[in-house]
Amino acid sequence: MAGKGIAFGKEAGQELPAAEIQRVFRPEQMDQDSKFIGQTFENIDADVLSLTQELVQMVQDKFKNVLFNDSHFLALADHLSYALKRSGSADYPENLRWEVQKTYPQEYELALDSLYLIEKRTGIRLPKSELTFLTYHYVDAQNNSEGTIQSAKLAELTNRAIEIVQYHYQLILDQNSANYVRFVTHLRFFILRQLHQGSEEVPKVDPQLLAIVKENYKKAFQGAQKVGKMLIEIMGCQVSEEELFYLTLHIDRVTRRQ
């Protein structure tokens, strides 16, 4: 990857001139999110952080009043890190990309420029579905509220899970249906439980009932497994059989009643 990395040209223990410092992270000032932010920062390669800074600068040059806070910066860096690692995987069909482009034309244009810059710096061509994710990141960065990296991460993981289900079934879910609302609500709490693993457990499921669901709702269970695999890869968590059981039922309901 081209470009300067973190502390480029410096030795351990050498003091950095203030003029060369672009961003300072102080997790201790972020209360309950400090541990999550610290873990996120440790798992991102220095070159990815450098590339993220280039993308941020490009956005800030376009929107003069935008200032990426640490939460937005790390959310974008974390997303980019995952996208680059998964660059060889199949693209998600993005039937709503045109709607995103119409709703956020300037941010979408920046997302296009971002894909070109990412390929120039890394030699990796990311799939077009990344246009949607990058667009939403740039829209979120213009929100002046003090959101946390957790809220940004939750939104991204929920969107990825929905796309996985749509791709698995080769259909677009009806966002106006009550079942879709229930499904998204369940997804958000399901993902939150994985973010705070161990703090809340779902009710135990009888093994025989679990076996029946696996057999009678094979496609929905396979979809739940794919969502679980995505969370495991991104977060390194463990997704229990009970979680997959309840997610299977919601997937079956939202896809069966379109």
At 6 the pLDDT is 45
Q: Where residue 102 falls among pLDDT bands split at 50, 70, 90?
A: confident
Residues 30 and 142 in one domain: yes
CATH number assigned to the domain comprising residue 52: 1.10.1790.10
Last residue of a domain, one of 96, 131, 146: 146
| Maximum mean pLDDT: which of 3-17, 46-60, 121-135 | 46-60
72 and 184: one domain?
no
**Residue 7's pLDDT band (boundaries 50, 70, 90)?**
very low
Q: What is the DSSP string of the chain?
A: --S--TTTT--TTPPPPGGG------GGGSGGGHHHHHHHHHTS-HHHHHHHHHHHHHHHHHSTT----HHHHHHHHHHHHHHHHTTTSPPPP-TTHHHHHHHSHHHHHHHHHHHHHHHHHHS----TTHHHHHHHHHHHHT--S---HHHHHHHHHHHHHHHHHHHHHTS---TTSHHHHHHHHHHHHHHHHHHTTTS--PPP--HHHHHHHHHHTHHHHHHHHHHHHHHHHHH-----HHHHHHHHHHHHHHHHT-
Mean pLDDT, the chain, whole residue set: 77
200 and 105 within one domain = no
How much of the chain exceeds pLDDT 90, in percent?
26
Tell me the pLDDT tens digit for each residue of 134-186: 887 887 777 654 444 566 677 788 888 999 999 999 998 887 787 887 888 78
Question: What is the band of 249 on the pLDDT scale with cuts at 50, 70, 90?
Answer: very high
Residues 61 and 134 in one domain: yes
Alpha carbon 6 to chain centroid, angstroms? 23
pLDDT greater than 90 at residue 22? no
d(CA 55, CA 126): 15
Domain boundary among 96, 117, 146: 146
Among candidate residues 235, 32, 209, the one with its CA nearest the CA of residue 244:
209
Q: What is the separation, in whole angstroms, between the first and last Cα of the chain?
A: 45
Instruction: Find the domain containing 160 and state its range.
Output: 148-258
Q: How many domains does the chain have?
A: 2
In a domain, 6, yes or no: no
Min mean pLDDT across 30-34, 41-45, 251-255 is at: 30-34
Whether 228 and 152 share a structural domain = yes
Given this model, what pLDDT does residue 235 score?
Answer: 81
Whether 139 maps to a domain, the answer reads: yes
Domain membership flag for residue 124: yes
The answer to whether residues 91 and 139 belong to one domain is: yes
Residues 172 and 138 in one domain: no
**Confidence bin at 128 (pLDDT 50/70/90):** confident
pLDDT at position 92 over 60? no
* Residue 59 within any structural domain of the chain: yes
Of 29-33, 142-146, 189-193, least confident by mean pLDDT is 29-33
pTM: 0.52
For 236-245, how does the pLDDT look when each residue is reduced to its tens digit (9 = 90+)? Answer: 888 889 899 9
88 and 165 both lie in a single domain: no
32 and 104 share a domain?
yes
* Entry field: residues in the chain: 258
* 142 and 218 assigned to the same domain: no
Least confident of 77-81, 82-86, 215-219: 82-86
Q: Are residues 160 and 95 in the same domain?
A: no
Would you say residue 81 lies in a domain? yes
**Residue 9 is assigned to a structural domain of this protein:** no
Is residue 5 included in any domain, yes or no? no
| Domain annotation covers residue 18 | no
212 plus 257 within the same structural domain: yes
Last residue of a domain, one of 109, 126, 146: 146
